[in-house]
Structure 1
Amino acid sequence: MGDVHGDPADGRVAGPRCIAIVGPFASGKTTLLEAILARTGAISRQGTVAGGNTVGDASPEARAHAMSVEANFADTDYLGDRYTFIDCPGSVEFLTETDGVLGGVDMAIVVAEADEKKVPALQLILKALEARRMPRVLFLNKIDKADRRVREVLEVLQPASAVPLVLRQIPIWKQGIAMGFIDLALERAFVYREHAESLVIDIPDDEQAREVEARFSMLERLADHDDVLMEALLEDMAPGRERVFADLVTEMRDGLICPVFIGSAEHGNGILRLMKALRHEGPGIASTRARLGLAEGVDAVQVIKTLHTPHGGKLSLARVLSGTVGDATMLVRADGSEAKVSGVFSLTGQQASKRAAATAGETVGLGKLEGVATGETLGVGKAPAAQLAPLAPPEPVLGLAVAAAERKDEVKLSSALTKLVEEDPSYRFTHAQETGETLLEGQGEMHLRVAQERLKGKYGLSLEVHAPAVPYRETIRAATSVRGRHKKQSGGHGQFGDAALEIRPLPRGEGFVFSDTITGGVVPKQYIPSVRDGVAEALNQGPLGFPVVDIAVTLTDGSYHSVDSSDQAFKMAAILAMREGLPQCKPVLLEPIHEVTVACPSEATPRINAIISGRRGQLLGFDGRPGWDGWDEVRALMPEADIGDLIVELRSATAGVASYTKRFDHLAELTGKAADQALARSGRQAA
């Protein structure tokens, strides 16, 4: 089994490392990846998102929208160490991509900027890291555009983090421009140079007081978890540099603090200092195995993303947690079934290239692992491994009814949708039996737009899409008695069935009840089930055009013919009786009502309440979101017809961070103009 050992000279871990780059939308994650690759020599020139020439955001959909819509991988070497960086999407609609990646990385760089509107989005990211006990550093980007002091920025960002944000660097300002920074741990100053390594200088005299104050503040935070350091500070003793770095390493790796670095990814400023901190202070695969709970002696890989490539087929991006994986290696799933590796690949952006076997710590693509899904832990060899980081995609919040524009593409569409869901499990596609529609559901408007673009661009499918039909029901409000007679003579045996029915409403939620009061054999026993079948079939579509519920039907009388009666004849008699009787029973439309729980920042709660009320929602109340400072959960009952595109309005009111869950609650009568509109939308009209 592969292992990783610390370097006795400086405590630095050896071996390949894997680091996720995460953060709110448009914070500069893709630009940071590009700057890291340029600074470490993996690429000759730093591209830009606007120019559409970055390693990250390499898919046509990402290029078209100038935003990350999937995780992008890139390898680089720095001072003899191998790194895989994974640029993760920042939009809440694509966070499942990030969740999969976090199952196998050593740590995360959280990219943020001085924008208080993005604090809730930052909190979403940090919560995901905290839940996984993920070591992390924060890179405060766009320092060249900052318009306030860094410590003021940290005060704004701190509520998003459950652990202290500990400032490692302070900027050196000149005429309002950040011209460099002071590293508080090293006690050295650096002057930025455009796309070149910063110049080391002595700390300027006019910055000495700021440096001393800021460094003491950093040490106070570290001392919260180190009694020896606390005692030294109380006695005004200067701690040794080794002690300071040891505390920074231990407390970051243990998730007790989040160190903060500053810079500008666009200009390549602060990148090499960040890389040196990752190299000397970041954890490696041994720590990751321990954090994930991988048992000693078990060799395993963690699948963190699935791709379907145009020519190479399915590719499972995986972190080798221990052992060696090569071409033809057998991997064992949790149920004991095996999957054989067909090729090992390096991935840079969208480009895969074949390589030799991978060892512990490496992140590679494994070819054609059929049936294997993102989030699975696979054993290497003969035994399955425990599932270390299973993926639990969120419930969809927006849906579309989709159909192939050309009938010949229907099978192709089903195959493409299956692959789409494999690549991003937060999509879901189902066939709605009630409406006959194929539903594609996802995490928001952009999420579904990207799906349509991918189906067209990658699979050549033209689609017809529309809003899903609402599964209305209908019921009755009055009782009636009716008789149905089916009689047909066409040479030889004829057909004869005669059934008298009583139809009455039931309380909401009672469903369908059938009974009979037949005496004297006026309807032979063998035909009574056929009458029930006929009634049930008639209830599939009532007078308003929808399934009928909450109804009781009793067979009270009838007659038969010894030769011409049959099961089919009595079934038809029941159908005829129901078709005549239901319109007499004052049919009424029923609409599905769901209990909806909206999670949103507290300052947006009044806006959320107004949105819900404007969609015929009945507010039930709100409480603080458990474990989330500054967030609320708003509960309401809402008609399914008005939930539709609710998420679009919620996200618009909350800078893109609100979400909701729903569960069916009950059916409610829909009358008047609202019922007429519902029937018109469904292509039906009132009886």
Structure 2
Amino acid sequence: MANANNGQANSSGREPRCVALVGPFGSGKTSLLEAILARTNKVDRQGKVSDGNTIGDGSAEARAHGMSVELNFADVEYLGDRFNFIDCPGSVEFLGEMDSALSGADLAVVVAEDDERKVPALQLILKALEARAIPRVLFLNKIDKSTRRVRDVLNLLQPASSVPLVLRQIPIWEDGQATGFIDLALERAHVYHEKEPSTEIDMSDEDRAREHEARFTMLEHLADHDDDLMEALLEDIAPDRGTVFADLVAEMQDGLICPVFFGSGEHGNGVTRLLKALRHEVPSVDRLKARLLDAAPESAIQVIKTLHTQHGGKVSVARVLSGALADNDSLYVNGTTEAKVSGLFSLFGQQLNKISKASEGDLVGLGRLEDVQTGDVLSLQGSKLPALDTADTRRPVLATAIEAGQRKDEVRLSAALSKLAEEDGSLTVAQNQITAETLLCGQGEMHLRVAQERLSGKYGLDVAVHAPHVPYSETIRGSATARGRHKKQSGGHGQFGDVVLEISPLPRGEGIQFTDRITGGVVPKQYIASVKEGVLEALGQGPLGFPVVDLSVCLIDGSYHSVDSSDQAFKMAGILAIREGLSECKPILLEPIHKVVVTCPSDATARINAIVSARRGQLLGFDARPGWSGWDEVQALMPEAEIGDLIVDLRSATAGVASYTAEFDHMAELSGKAADQALQRSGKQAA
């Protein structure tokens, strides 16, 4: 690293701005960040993802898989302006990380490429930006590998964006390769140099004609929101350059257009032009503050990410929206609980560099704020502040049951899982009370695999995982009357309880009903509650090995002994009667059925329908996804047993972008081969 920052976070006169690098998996975000770091002399040499030597992807898990799996931060200075870049993972399984970054971003650079397979993934990301009203520009990466005209690539990508993608540049071609670009706003031509700034050249007559046509198209887009510009174009009056730049900036910041730049992160092409545009066009933190807050507090610090470092403990990554901050300052969490900063840091890849203070706009790490969570708002005054980020947490689509490899590690595993979930809001830990399993729930196979690798590598834990058990239950089809008699003599007082139970089925969803028709005191009133207790305990595991539901149990007869009868004796009698009677009531297995809604690109709907049907799903229909051009929603009822790894098939059929939600709907009878297979998987067998 050529430049370490050991002083305060902001050394220039202008407040720093925060830029998120987002885009589909494999589009080259980390390479672009590396090129930016090299161009701003933050690193001595530009690294390569394939060599595992980039500032981004610094964790062991990221390098092992050759992909970003968490946020990476880097602060740079360019021509006196400071920027905090956040490199976000592009895989749909790690978009929860992007959600965190966007909470504090002034602008997003959307990195895309000439690949039609990634257009749906690009749409996922653009939709997230649009929902949060985050200004954005698109950087068309890998221009050196593109096989189409930029205009054709733009037509390919346009369906992913609800606002126009507006070219700010056109390429200069030589023998089918992009050797430079023409800036449509400045009307200047530049030629690329490998990992060096481009240099200005004169335009050929042919290129000048292309520039004139492309620039007019750009101006037409701008004129859609500027009546004066529209009038000038109609009268064939050339607008002045100041007007053009003002419109480009204003319409981008208002989310009316998405300007498009291009280049090659790997070769460092187009980086200087992008940096110059960011320097002049990224809005200040005031705009973010106005978007998030109704008022303008003197002090507001938004926590966007939580880290648990191996040696430095908990670090809260936060954006200073207003005010200033120093190490050892006392902060108020959401206006109430007081917490003291123990360490103030700038962030650079995996490094935390100690600093003395931070000012408005800075992105910093706050040490050891144990009670602070991602999404909290901190202040120096202690005045009540609202939570700034209201984005929905991404719902899990895959779960694995997890347990410590050794019993002595159970407490350590619980603590480590809590830390993982605190770091990553799209990773959740749940307890299934029915199956008595701890479930680690996330966004896909890789998401859960990385979490398990962190448990092993970071926390030194050996864990065992398996597919979660399905919470089957059972009910009865028939009725029976059964007697349960518990009699035991072992010296002194014995034990005696005798009951007769009438067992009958109830409609689905009615649960368990216990009544009595005792007359003549054959079962003393004080023992009836004990009989019920025994009945409910016995129904916890029926003849098929699962909890029994939807039946009526009526105590109709019995007998007692004046000396030997007791609560425990009648409880045991109730248990014996239920066990005796259930086997005669034609027990049948019940499985949970969920209402499933799958979201997918429309061209994959037929494949999704086939996948759902193959998993015993009952298709209810499909419709256009509201607000999503070219997407559908497929509704179905599916057994929970078939949903476990459903996301794997859905993603395989849709280039990794489909998802689903599932809500419990009802319990349904399961018989025949499917029931036998369910019992076999659960280690049960029919009585």
Matched with 2:3 is none
Q: Does 1:650 align with 2:650?
A: yes
In the TM superposition, residue 423 of structure 1 has moved relative to its aligned partner by 0.5
Matched with 2:17 is 17
Alpha-carbon distance between aligned partners in 1 of 2:364 and 2:485, rounded to the nearest angstrom:
72
TM-score, length-normalised on structure 2?
0.97
8 Å CA contact retained: 1:100, 1:391 = no
Alpha-carbon distance between aligned partners in 2 of 1:646 and 1:669, rounded to the nearest angstrom:
22
Alpha-carbon distance between aligned partners in 2 of 1:479 and 1:524, rounded to the nearest angstrom:
26
Matched with 1:603 is 603
- Which amino acid in the other structure matches residue 402 of structure 1? I
In the TM superposition, residue 338 of structure 1 has moved relative to its aligned partner by 2.1
In the TM superposition, residue 330 of structure 1 has moved relative to its aligned partner by 2.2
Alpha-carbon distance between aligned partners in 2 of 1:662 and 1:334, rounded to the nearest angstrom:
33
Matched with 1:454 is 454
Alpha-carbon distance between aligned partners in 2 of 1:83 and 1:161, rounded to the nearest angstrom:
26
Larger mean Cα displacement after TM superposition, 395-404 or 326-335: 326-335
Summarize the alignment of residues 532-611 of structure 1 with structure 2, pairs less than 5 Å apart. 532-611=532-611
- The 3-state SS of whatever aligns with 1:585 is coil
Matched with 1:414 is 414
Matched with 1:521 is 521
In the TM superposition, residue 294 of structure 1 has moved relative to its aligned partner by 5.0
Unaligned runs of 5+ in 2: 1-11
Matched with 1:268 is 268
Alpha-carbon distance between aligned partners in 2 of 1:281 and 1:599, rounded to the nearest angstrom:
35
Alpha-carbon distance between aligned partners in 2 of 1:371 and 1:123, rounded to the nearest angstrom:
36
Matched with 1:635 is 635
- Which amino acid in the other structure matches residue 125 of structure 2? I
Alpha-carbon distance between aligned partners in 1 of 2:381 and 2:91, rounded to the nearest angstrom:
38
Matched with 2:243 is 243
Summarize the alignment of residues 165-180 of structure 1 with structure 2, pairs less than 5 Å apart. 165-180=165-180
Matched with 2:186 is 186
Alpha-carbon distance between aligned partners in 2 of 1:23 and 1:520, rounded to the nearest angstrom:
78
- Which amino acid in the other structure matches residue 647 of structure 1? I
Alpha-carbon distance between aligned partners in 2 of 1:371 and 1:616, rounded to the nearest angstrom:
46
- Which amino acid in the other structure matches residue 188 of structure 2? R
Summarize the alignment of residues 115-514 of structure 1 with structure 2, pairs less than 5 Å apart. 115-334=115-334, 336-514=336-514
Alpha-carbon distance between aligned partners in 1 of 2:523 and 2:233, rounded to the nearest angstrom:
97
In the TM superposition, residue 335 of structure 1 has moved relative to its aligned partner by 6.5
8 Å CA contact retained: 2:262, 2:270 = yes
- Which amino acid in the other structure matches residue 584 of structure 1? E
In the TM superposition, residue 392 of structure 1 has moved relative to its aligned partner by 2.9
| Alpha-carbon displacement from aligned partner over 1:600-638 (angstroms, at most 9, x marks no partner) | 000000000000001000000000000000000000000
Alpha-carbon distance between aligned partners in 2 of 1:389 and 1:290, rounded to the nearest angstrom:
13
Alpha-carbon distance between aligned partners in 1 of 2:596 and 2:390, rounded to the nearest angstrom:
26
In the TM superposition, residue 288 of structure 1 has moved relative to its aligned partner by 1.2
8 Å CA contact retained: 1:476, 1:504 = yes
Alpha-carbon distance between aligned partners in 2 of 1:390 and 1:159, rounded to the nearest angstrom:
27
- The 3-state SS of whatever aligns with 2:84 is strand
In the TM superposition, residue 205 of structure 1 has moved relative to its aligned partner by 1.7
- Which amino acid in the other structure matches residue 52 of structure 1? G
- Which amino acid in the other structure matches residue 563 of structure 2? V
Alpha-carbon distance between aligned partners in 1 of 2:542 and 2:379, rounded to the nearest angstrom:
55
Matched with 1:8 is none
| Alpha-carbon displacement from aligned partner over 1:626-670 (angstroms, at most 9, x marks no partner) | 000000000000000011100011001001100000000011111
In the TM superposition, residue 391 of structure 1 has moved relative to its aligned partner by 4.8
- The 3-state SS of whatever aligns with 1:50 is helix
In the TM superposition, residue 94 of structure 1 has moved relative to its aligned partner by 0.7
8 Å CA contact retained: 1:191, 1:198 = yes
- Which amino acid in the other structure matches residue 112 of structure 1? A
- The 3-state SS of whatever aligns with 1:147 is coil
Matched with 1:3 is none
Matched with 1:46 is 46
Alpha-carbon distance between aligned partners in 1 of 2:331 and 2:155, rounded to the nearest angstrom:
48
TM-score, length-normalised on structure 1?
0.97
In the TM superposition, residue 204 of structure 1 has moved relative to its aligned partner by 1.8
- Which amino acid in the other structure matches residue 613 of structure 2? S
Larger mean Cα displacement after TM superposition, 268-277 or 334-343: 334-343
8 Å CA contact retained: 1:294, 1:386 = no
In the TM superposition, residue 379 of structure 1 has moved relative to its aligned partner by 2.4
Q: Does 1:110 align with 2:82?
A: no
In the TM superposition, residue 383 of structure 1 has moved relative to its aligned partner by 1.3
8 Å CA contact retained: 2:616, 2:638 = yes
Question: What RMSD in Å do the two structures reach over aligned CA positions?
Answer: 1.1
Unaligned runs of 5+ in 1: 1-11
Alpha-carbon distance between aligned partners in 1 of 2:374 and 2:603, rounded to the nearest angstrom:
36
8 Å CA contact retained: 2:324, 2:359 = yes
Matched with 1:664 is 664
- Which amino acid in the other structure matches residue 630 of structure 1? G
| Alpha-carbon displacement from aligned partner over 1:17-50 (angstroms, at most 9, x marks no partner) | 1100000000000000000000011111000100
8 Å CA contact retained: 2:100, 2:304 = yes
Larger mean Cα displacement after TM superposition, 551-560 or 427-436: 427-436
User: CA 1:297–1:429 in structure 2 vs 1: closer, same or farther (change >3 Å)?
Assistant: closer
- Which amino acid in the other structure matches residue 372 of structure 1? V
- Which amino acid in the other structure matches residue 177 of structure 1? Q
Alpha-carbon distance between aligned partners in 2 of 1:383 and 1:226, rounded to the nearest angstrom:
41
| Alpha-carbon displacement from aligned partner over 1:483-542 (angstroms, at most 9, x marks no partner) | 101111111111111111000000000000000001111111111111110000000000
- Which amino acid in the other structure matches residue 215 of structure 2? R
Alpha-carbon distance between aligned partners in 1 of 2:293 and 2:100, rounded to the nearest angstrom:
17
| Alpha-carbon displacement from aligned partner over 1:549-606 (angstroms, at most 9, x marks no partner) | 0010000011111111111110000000011110110000000000100000000000
8 Å CA contact retained: 2:289, 2:296 = no
Alpha-carbon distance between aligned partners in 2 of 1:162 and 1:254, rounded to the nearest angstrom:
13
In the TM superposition, residue 13 of structure 1 has moved relative to its aligned partner by 10
Alpha-carbon distance between aligned partners in 1 of 2:201 and 2:13, rounded to the nearest angstrom:
29
In the TM superposition, residue 381 of structure 1 has moved relative to its aligned partner by 2.3
Alpha-carbon distance between aligned partners in 2 of 1:396 and 1:491, rounded to the nearest angstrom:
59
8 Å CA contact retained: 1:14, 1:284 = no
8 Å CA contact retained: 2:111, 2:140 = yes
Alpha-carbon distance between aligned partners in 2 of 1:333 and 1:384, rounded to the nearest angstrom:
9
Alpha-carbon distance between aligned partners in 2 of 1:85 and 1:615, rounded to the nearest angstrom:
44
Aligned residues between the structures: 676
- Which amino acid in the other structure matches residue 663 of structure 2? R
8 Å CA contact retained: 1:190, 1:201 = yes
- Which amino acid in the other structure matches residue 658 of structure 1? A
8 Å CA contact retained: 1:294, 1:388 = no
Alpha-carbon distance between aligned partners in 1 of 2:296 and 2:438, rounded to the nearest angstrom:
46
- The 3-state SS of whatever aligns with 2:50 is coil
- The 3-state SS of whatever aligns with 1:321 is strand
- Structure 1 runs of 4+ off > 3 angstroms? none
